[in-house]
Structure 1
Amino acid sequence: MARVLVVDDAKFMRLTLTNMLSHGNHEIVGEAENGQEAIELFRELQPDIVTMDITMPIMSGIDALKTIKTEYPSAKVVMCSAMGQQKMVVEAIEAGAKDFIVKPFDESRVLEAIKRVLS
């Protein structure tokens, strides 16, 4: 069981991921709707893993990822991207993301990615 921080500007997407992760027996320790919140919550909660949307207001997922990885080099972050964001996914992986999942989310893929990153 992992402690997960779910980051997405869309409440529906956070809810979807939260439900899927709960089915996989993971604990949702927090939710953030932009990159700045994600960084603050990461510092406070020190989750095992983060699901991070790429495109968000205030601060993008990639910028938040870079900040988190600078402060916590061992942080495990899985990026969430919409179709057609391959270039951003590559940038995220280069910035230290461990994996990515594509929207619309498929529960088995989401849980598989989490498991892969944690092992």
Structure 2
Amino acid sequence: MEKTVFIIDDSALARRTIKNLLENDGFDVVGETDGGANAINQYKELKPDIVTMDIAMSKMDGIRALEDILDYNPEAKVVVITGKAKEEVVKKTVGIGAKYFIAKPFEGNELVQIVEKVFNDEIVF
């Protein structure tokens, strides 16, 4: 079974790290973006199984992007990965519908395990 991921993060290093970790675990990274205006259109076009997304990005508001993705597809599986791990941000993203929240910096095996569980609908956050 193919497991597809779309990565939204304005850090090229973060995108590369996430991509390498998930590809090594058998995920197919079908797209990645630094979060510009076309990120939501890319999501609609790619229809990935999972989205990993930063909240604090220079080109787009991650909270708004999360809302837009979930407005388009209420069943979207979005894992928020960000350095803005304040309690109110965690509560807000999960309240909107993110499936999980990972604080940067993260452990590689933690990321892979969480994304696997979200993909398999094994996480209730």
Which category of TM-score, normalised to the shorter sequence, fits these structures? Answer: over 0.9
Given that 2:56 and 2:84 are in contact with CA atoms closer than 8 Å, whether structure 1 keeps it comes out as: no
Q: Secondary structure at the match of 2:38?
A: helix
**Displacement of 1:17:** 0.5
Number of residues of Structure 1 aligned to a counterpart in Structure 2: 119
Q: Which residue of 1 aligns with 2:14?
A: 13
Q: Which residue of 1 aligns with 2:68?
A: 67
1:38-81 residue CA offsets vs partner (Å, 9 max, x unmatched): 21110110000000001012321111010110111111100012
Q: Give 1:1-119 correspondences, 5 Å limit.
A: 1-34=2-35, 36-82=37-83, 84-119=85-120
Distance 1:99 1:84, change over 3 A: closer
**Displacement of 1:105:** 2.4
**Displacement of 1:36:** 2.9
Distance 1:86 1:21, change over 3 A: same
User: 2: CA distance between counterparts of 1:58 and 1:4?
Assistant: 21
User: 2: CA distance between counterparts of 1:33 and 1:86?
Assistant: 25
Q: CA RMSD in A?
A: 1.4
Look up the equivalent residue of 2:64 and give its one-letter code.
Answer: D
Given that 2:10 and 2:59 are in contact with CA atoms closer than 8 Å, whether structure 1 keeps it comes out as: no
Look up the equivalent residue of 1:92 and give its one-letter code.
Answer: T
**Displacement of 1:101:** 1.4
Look up the equivalent residue of 1:106 and give its one-letter code.
Answer: E
Q: Which runs of 5+ in 2 are unaligned?
A: 121-125
